[in-house]
Amino acid sequence: MVRIRLTRMGARNRPFYRVVVADSRARRDGPFIEMLGYYDPLKDPPEVKIDPERVKYWLERGAQPSDSVKRLLQRAGL
């Protein structure tokens, strides 16, 4: 199964996340199929940038978003 989920980037105590499409069996920071955007929780307000066309493309093809990505998509207005 293909999932839309977050992968952690950034230095220790300075998290930065990429929104990626990955196989559900792959490890969190492992290989991914495509990067759809990013989420920076340290900015005030937290910054979310996601490509809506690519998200729609993957959702139409059966990709399942994780719970945290569902919240980010709602925040981004998708």
Where do the domains of the chain lie?
Answer: 2-75
pLDDT in tens, 20-75: 999 989 888 889 899 999 999 999 999 999 999 999 999 999 999 999 999 999 98
Residue 78, pLDDT above cutoff 80:
no
Which residues, other chains included, contact 52 with Cβ-Cβ below 8 Å and sequence gap of 6+? 76, 78
CATH architecture of 2-75: 2-Layer Sandwich (3.30)
Neighbours of 8 (CB within 10 A): 10
Relative to beta strand 2-9, strand 16-23 is antiparallel
